[in-house]
Amino acid sequence: MQDSYKAALEQMTEKFQRTARLAAEENIIPYKSEHGTWVTSPYDGNSWWTGGFWPALMFQLYAFSRDPFFLEEGRRVEALLVEEFRTYQYLNHDVGFMYLLSCGADYKLTGNTQSRLDTLHAASLLMGRFNPAGFIRAWNSPQQTGFAIIDCMMNLSLLFWASRESQDPRFEKVARIHADTTMREFVREDGSVSHIIEFDPESGKRMKEHPGQGYALGSSWSRGQAWGLYGFTLAARNTGNPEYLATALSIARNFCRHIRPDGLTDCDFCQPKEEERLDNIAGAVAACGLMELRFLTSEDAFMDAARTLVDGLLDHCADFSDASMGILTHCTASYHDDGAGRHTNITYGDYFLAEALAKLCGTDPMFWI
């Protein structure tokens, strides 16, 4: 373990020992930190797709520090998320992110049996979104019955977990069908990936690509690239399927070609050169995916690239001061600002930074598997 990574994780732990208490006092789920305060999600209340990253962050810090405050704080928000099962209308394919990282993480760390049942419940909700025409439906609007998105590759982890946990192959079969469709329809020749593809919900035929959170139709939104990289790596680890591994390698090599000299990550790899638009969440997610890919392939270049990304974040964009609540700066939710945050601290950036540091320190409990 390199001392600088351990020192950074210790600084993270100390900062959240102070600032997470303020979230607990208000009984909120922090979404981002701005002007020295916590801000909750801009849409859909506690059902917003990012809710699981706060408990995941708390559980990561608990695994590292064993400070019981972090377990308690993770569980406070886990309980809020479980209440969201009743809203149904706002929950979408991101129940993978929301519940594997909250209830699933609690179960993994503590063996809490109710958390296990809640995670299986979430897996059933995700499987209920499967269209037998060949994909998992992303969102709920009646205009989007055929929409699937690259981000869902991360949510498949919940299905792989559920098959192992329940000894029932249905979940994994659905995950494999969705991953096969994604491999065929989203991944381009050069290893870049599309964000949103619309299918005919009756036949499963590909209809068209839609612009998503990146710069333009057909561009390469960096967080989408990172979701694809890490998602296919996890699918390869979960199944042993060499095609998923080859896909992860192709996306990873393309991502590595776009790492900036300072280690930070542009919001879109096709954005105009004169635009300084960063998304450090993409860099943190990719660093985690690259380290897992190094684990699967023994290719040291992936570890070197992951270190470049983490070093860039720590050297230029980590705020451990008391002036703010969170740590990772210059996170951008969407290239064309959708109100969810641009060049600011966003909680899931902090989560993936913590996961990356924990991997480098050998303390990551690996909530995705």
User: Binding of ligand GLY at residue 277 (CB under 6 A)?
Assistant: no
Q: CB 359 → ligand GLY: shortest distance, Å? A: 20
Q: Which of residues 170-199 bind ligand GLY (CB under 6 A)?
A: none
**Given the complex with ligand GLY, which of 63 and 267 has the nearer CB atom?**
267
Q: CB 221 → ligand GLY: shortest distance, Å? A: 9
Q: Which residues are catalytic?
A: 94, 151
81: part of which helix (H) or strand (E)? helix 68-83
**Given the complex with ligand GLY, which of 4 and 334 has the nearer CB atom?**
334
Can you read off the two tokens belonging to residue 299? 């290719």
Rounded distance between C-alpha atoms, residue 77 and residue 30, angstroms: 10
* Binding test (CB under 6 A) with ligand GLY, winner from 223, 294, 330, 342: 223
User: Binding of ligand GLY at residue 350 (CB under 6 A)?
Assistant: no
Please name which of 207, 209, 222, 355 lies closest in space to residue 292, comparing C-alpha atoms.
355
Q: Which of residues 47-76 bind ligand GLY (CB under 6 A)?
A: 49
**Given the complex with ligand GLY, which of 151 and 172 has the nearer CB atom?**
151
Q: CB 224 → ligand GLY: shortest distance, Å? A: 7
Count Cβ atoms within 10 A of the Cβ of residue 295 and give its class: 0-12 exposed, 13-18 middle, 19 or more buried.
middle
Q: CB 160 → ligand GLY: shortest distance, Å? A: 19
Please name which of 150, 169, 81 lies closest in space to residue 122, comparing C-alpha atoms.
81
Q: Which of residues 310-349 bind ligand GLY (CB under 6 A)?
A: 333
User: Binding of ligand GLY at residue 213 (CB under 6 A)?
Assistant: yes
Can you read off the two tokens belonging to residue 123? 């897996």
**Given the complex with ligand GLY, which of 29 and 303 has the nearer CB atom?**
29
**Given the complex with ligand GLY, which of 85 and 139 has the nearer CB atom?**
139
Rounded distance between C-alpha atoms, residue 282 and residue 288, angstroms: 10
Residues 6 or more apart from 216 whose CB is under 8 A from it? 268, 270
Of all residues in the shown chain, the one whose CB is closest to ligand GLY is 151
User: Binding of ligand GLY at residue 32 (CB under 6 A)?
Assistant: no
Q: Which of residues 104-163 bind ligand GLY (CB under 6 A)?
A: 151
**Residue bearing tokens 């303020």:** 22
Contact (Cβ atoms closer than 8 angstroms) between residue 235 and residue 175: yes
Q: CB 92 → ligand GLY: shortest distance, Å? A: 10
Count Cβ atoms within 10 A of the Cβ of residue 111 and give its class: 0-12 exposed, 13-18 middle, 19 or more buried.
exposed
Rounded distance between C-alpha atoms, residue 169 and residue 347, angstroms: 34
**Given the complex with ligand GLY, which of 32 and 76 has the nearer CB atom?**
32
Taking CB atoms within 8 Å and a gap of at least 24, the contacts of 8-14 are: 8/314, 8/318, 8/357, 9/64, 9/354, 9/357, 9/358, 9/361, 9/363, 11/320, 12/61, 12/320, 12/327, 12/350, 12/353, 12/354, 12/357, 13/61, 13/64, 13/65, 13/67
Q: CB 347 → ligand GLY: shortest distance, Å? A: 12
Q: Count the site residues for ligand GLY by CB under 6 A.
A: 5
- DSSP states of 115-157 as a string? HHHHHHHHHHHHHTTEETTTEE-----GGGTTEEETTHHHHHH
User: Binding of ligand GLY at residue 84 (CB under 6 A)?
Assistant: no
Q: CB 316 → ligand GLY: shortest distance, Å? A: 22
**Given the complex with ligand GLY, which of 81 and 333 has the nearer CB atom?**
333
Contacting residues toward ligand GLY, per CB under 6 A: 49, 151, 213, 223, 333
